[in-house]
């Protein structure tokens, strides 16, 4: 499942996800568009993003394969 799919399944806007994860909305947009690969973000940001989506970090990494 992609980050966008996870976000939409939880009924979150990009801004809501960004606020919950403590990231910038533009970073969420770039991740969803594939401009930023999950494997290239910091571990701290990946952990916050995974927590905001209620998934494991490993699931984030699976998306980037």
- Which CATH number is 53's domain given? 1.10.260.40
Q: Record the pTM.
A: 0.90
Burial class from Cβ neighbours inside 10 Å (0-12, 13-18, 19+) for residue 53 reads: buried
pLDDT digits (tens, 9 = 90+) for 1-25: 899 999 999 999 999 999 999 999 9
pLDDT digits (tens, 9 = 90+) for 22-63: 999 999 999 999 999 999 999 999 999 999 999 999 998 887
Domain count, the chain: 1
Per the document, the length of the chain is 65
Helix axes 43-53, 14-21, angle to 10 degrees: 120
Domain region containing 39: 3-63
């Amino acid at each position: 499942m992609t980050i966008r799919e996870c976000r939409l399944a939880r009924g979150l806007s990009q801004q809501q996800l960004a606020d919950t994860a403590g990231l910038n909305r533009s970073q969420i947009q770039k991740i969803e568009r594939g401009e930023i690969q999950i494997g290239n973000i910091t571990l701290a940001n990946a952990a916050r993003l995974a927590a905001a989506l209620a998934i494991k970090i490993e699931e984030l990494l699976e998306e980037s394969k």
